[in-house]
Structures are given as structure tokens and as C-alpha cells.
Chains A and B, each alone.
Chain A
Amino acid sequence: MISALPRSEFPLLAASPRLAYLDSAATTQKPRAVLDAICDFYENDNANPHRGAYALSVRATERYHEARARVAAFLGVGDPDCLIFTRGTTESLNLVASSWGRANVGAGDEIVVTGAEHHANFVPWQQLAIEKNARLRICELAPDGALDLDRLRALLGSRTKVVAFAHVSNVLGTIAPVRDIVELAHRVGAIAVCDGAQAAPHLTVRFDELGVDFFAASGHKMLGPMGIGVLVGRRRLLEAMPPFLTGGDMIEFVEDDHSTWNRLPHKFEAGTPNAAGAVGMAAAAAVLEGVGMDAVRAHERELVRSAYRRLSAIEGVRIYGPGPADRSGVLSFNVGDVHPHDLATILDSHHVCIRAGHHCAQPLMRRLGVSATARASFYVYNDDADIDALVNGVMAAREMFSRVGA
């Protein structure tokens, strides 16, 4: 299995041939095309968008709007004004919980999340529930970690206002049945909020066809820069919502005693936007479109299948979640009584980068009955050599720990 995009297109990977970077679920490496696009914006078109009457500012504004149109097309959003640029998925989900949530969730109402959520799609809802005296209900998972639609159906009722779920789990790699969840949520009059941080980089996402009311994603997990992400929402909902942050750019008129709000998307983009970040995210979307999302997915499936087979053949290795056919490019595992942090240190000495810990999903760790796991995650630049390094490192760690009997 060779990489779907050559390592030579990623300056960091090209400079470190021996590095096996297997932490793309945390953040991805950046291709030259993305770095160049960011640099090009600052070198040729940099000014504050929407502000100046001069030609340079107009160019900056155009670049920013082009970026929005490009990312909207990548995510299957027909109405680009409903795509809000944010700092990332965390801010996007906080925006929905804070703005839509405070206006629409009251005492006695219910918010449903799953047991597999990243803290970014758990804590904002938990805090909203505390503030509003609403009830946070957690949909427990099926034994293999998949979302259990029967349990979800049983949890939903006339009090349910929100169903919030991850499209793809950042720990288990499970892929949620989005359309089924949306149907259940809409049947009881709740909105469906989708954390797409691990979906947008790895699967074909068509927002208009998914049926969800809100979809959040981050640029840095899909070859783009850090500090930029999106919230996509239904126009009807976004227009009815109060603003999230207030200040420059998001206002229409500011009177002494009240203000009126700008139209979408500006209403939710207070302050100077991260235009270079948006340009970088758009360039990342173009790179992924060049590979083709079907090819990205097929490549990851091959890598996961191979890594799953080779890791599970090692004595003492336990992999969490479903089999390789039903998951995205993420593998969480443990190796006997080798603690994940020790494993990560030993793998690091073999030039293998993996994540160890709770992966910002402590509720899921409790449900798995572990305090931490090791996690290897794959992307377009990974190949067989990365899996070789991972497997060799895991065997070395096992050997090291087996010198002393239990």
C-alpha cells in the first residue's frame, strides 16, 4: 500500500523520512499547496476583508469569499452563506449550544448525546443543561461501540430538543448512521447536531443530503491550517438565532441603546476573520478533491485493514470498537499491561507518533472500562512502512515489558 498523496508533497514528512506520523485524528500534516496558499494570501492579497474601499482590501474580501464558496462546495453546501467560518469544531459546537441552545432549550427539556462524544460535543451540552435546568441524556453504545438506534429511539420524546452526535468517533472510528439519527430526531421535533470533525477529512460529506441541522468541522484535521473551521446550519435556524459573539463586522447599525445584526454569514463572524486560514482550508479541500474522497476512503480502509490484522495478531493486543470494515482510519488499542503512555514513549523512540490518553472522550473511556488507550490514526500520506514501524514498535514494547514477569 503506497500513500494516496506522496510524502514529498508534505514538507515536514519529506524532511523526516523515518517519521511514521500516525496521529492524524489529532491534526494532519500540511501539504505544500496549503502552505503556499496561506503564504500567497499574505504576500499578495493581505488587507482586512470587508473594511477598506481600496483595491487591495477588495481583493482580500474576494479571496475570503472564494474560500467560503470552495469549502461549501467541498461539504455539499448549496447555500454558502450558511457556512460560518469559526476557529474550529469546538467553537462551532459551542456556537450552536450557546446561541441556538440558550434561545430554545428550557427547564425540563432534554438534550441527547451519545456515550462516544468528544468533549467538544459533550461539555457544551452538559453546561447548557445545567444552566437551563434541562436534562442531559446519554445514549449508551452497542457492545462493539456502534450507535444503538433502538436505544436512541427509546430515549427520544416530546421533551427532546437536541440530538448531538459524532459522524465519526475520534476514538473508535465508528461511522454513525446519520440519516437514521436525523429521522428519529426530526420525528420528535428535535434538531440534529453533527460533529463532523472526523468525517469531513475522511468521507464524502454532502451537507444538503445528510439532513442534519448543524454540521461542524475543522480545517486542521483535513490538511488545512489550525485555527479555522466551519459551522454549517440551516438558513431558517441561523436567521432566527441570536448572535454568538458581538463586535465588528457582525452588526448592521449600532445605536446608543441597541444594535441590529448583519446578514448571514457575517452575523456569526464577529471581528476580523481568519482569512488566510480560510484560504488555507479551501486549498486543503482542493487537494482532497484532487485525490478524490472515494480514493481517500479506500486508501484508509486498506491501511486500517492491514494494521488491524497485524496488530491483533500480536499477543496481548486488544483493539476497541468494530472490525476494520466498519470504521474510519482510527484504531484504539492496548497492549497487555503496558500503559498507553509508556507505549507512546517507546514508540516515539522508534519514530512512531501515536496518541495516548483519553482522547478528549472521558465518558467513552469510562464506558470502555479503561483510563486510557493508545490510538493510531491514518491519512492520505501513510503507507505500509508506517504500519511496519507501528507493528515493530509495539512488539519491541511488549518484549521490553516481558523481561519482568507479572
Chain B
Amino acid sequence: MSAPDDRKDAPNGTDSRRSHVEALYQELILDHYRRPRNRGTLEHPDVALRKKNPLCGDVIDLQLQFDGDTLREVRFTGEGCAISQAAASMLTQRLKGKSTAEAAQILDRFARMVHGEEGAADESLGDLRALSGVSRLPVRHPCALLASDALAEALASHR
């Protein structure tokens, strides 16, 4: 017995939710998921921090090294979904070499973008804007914010 017509799926492209999800899982994000930048550990970190998302069990371990007020090196390890891993990879890439104040500003802007605040996604976010689509998926906000919350906490503990 085959499905009645009204139970059959619409062809691709006619469904806004589907095209939205397809746009989110674009190559840039999958590339960061498959080949995460700054993944690993540092020998002499100034700050080390672990953060968990109890909702899904994702964990991130962060290590940061500073040169005065500048974030010189940052590494992460952890397990998680494409969104959380790509966010960690892109965020660490974006923040490296920035002052703590600049880094905090980027993290704040990133969090506002994830929460769907209009105009939050400006050029200072660079590639991170690829994650803007998460704003329409509230259940995935914690995935996108795990690394940025951890980084914000780590920066605050250095200052």
C-alpha cells in the first residue's frame, strides 16, 4: 500500500523550512566540522576551561594563551554536532590575535546574531555569519553558543 497523496512529501525547494536548513548546512560549516581549526591542546595555557551543555551532553575544553592583553593562541577539544563544532572552529579562528576587548565584542555580537537580533551580523563577524541561520532554530541555539559562552568566560577570567 503506498501513501495517500496528501502524505507524500513536497518536492525540494517548495518548503521554506527545508531550504532554510539546507542553507545552514552549507559547505563552509561542514568543512569546519570535518576539518576543525585550532583543535588540540596547548602545553602552557594561561586559562583552561571546560563547559558542558547538559541538554545534549556536548562538552568543550578550551585552552587560551595570552600575550599581555592579546589572545595569542587558543585551542579546543570536545565532541558535538556540526553546529557546535563549526562554531568553535570559526570562533577560535576569528578571535586569535585580538585584544580581550575586541574579542569580547565579537562574542557579544555573535550571541546577538544567534538570538536573531537584526543587524547584529556585521563584518566584524566574518565567516561566522554563515551561522546566522541558527537564529531560526531555537532548539539549536545552545549548540551554537556553547563555544562562545565558554570563550567569553575564559576571557573574563583573564581580565
List the A residue with the shortest CB-CB distance to B82: A342
| Given A371-B79, A401-B30, A383:B56 Cβ within 8 A | no
Collect the chain B residues with CB atoms within 8 Å of residue A314's CB: none
Chain A: number of interface residues, binned into ranges: 35 or more
Collect the chain A residues with CB atoms within 8 Å of residue B1's CB: 1-2, 383-384
Collect the chain B residues with CB atoms within 8 Å of residue A349's CB: 15, 17-18, 20-22
Q: Are B137 and A18 in contact (CB under 8 A)?
A: no
CB proximity of B53 to chain A, nearest CB, Å? 10
Query: 1/0 contact trace for B2-46 toward A, CB 8 Å?
Result: 111011111000010110111001010011011000000000000
Query: 1/0 contact trace for A363-378 toward B, CB 8 Å?
Result: 0010000011000000
Q: Are A346 and B25 in contact (CB under 8 A)?
A: yes
Q: Are A404 and B30 in contact (CB under 8 A)?
A: yes
Q: Is A351 an interface residue (CB 8 A)?
A: yes
- Residues of chain B in range 59-101 having any CB-CB distance to chain A below 8 Å: 79-83
For the complex, give the distance between the alpha carbons of A395 and B81 in Å: 18
CB proximity of A101 to chain B, nearest CB, Å? 26
For the complex, give the distance between the alpha carbons of A293 and B23 in Å: 44
Collect the chain B residues with CB atoms within 8 Å of residue A385's CB: 2-4, 7-8
- Residues of chain A in range 373-406 having any CB-CB distance to chain B below 8 Å: 383-385, 388-389, 392, 400-401, 403-406
Q: Is B140 an interface residue (CB 8 A)?
A: yes
CB proximity of B15 to chain A, nearest CB, Å? 7
| Given A341-B140, A342-B83, A384:B57 Cβ within 8 A | no
Task: Point out which of A337, A339, A401, A405 has the most chain B C-beta atoms below 10 A from its C-beta.
Answer: A339
Nearest first, the 10 closest Cβ-Cβ pairs linking A and B are A385-B3, A339-B81, A349-B21, A404-B30, A17-B6, A349-B18, A341-B81, A385-B7, A342-B82, A342-B81
For the complex, give the distance between the alpha carbons of A404 and B29 in Å: 10
For the complex, give the distance between the alpha carbons of A311 and B9 in Å: 18
CB proximity of A62 to chain B, nearest CB, Å? 42
In the complex, besides A348-B17, A350-B9, 12 extra interface pairs with C-beta distance below 8 angstroms are A2-B1, A18-B7, A341-B56, A345-B137, A346-B25, A372-B56, A383-B1, A384-B1, A388-B3, A404-B27, A404-B33, A406-B34
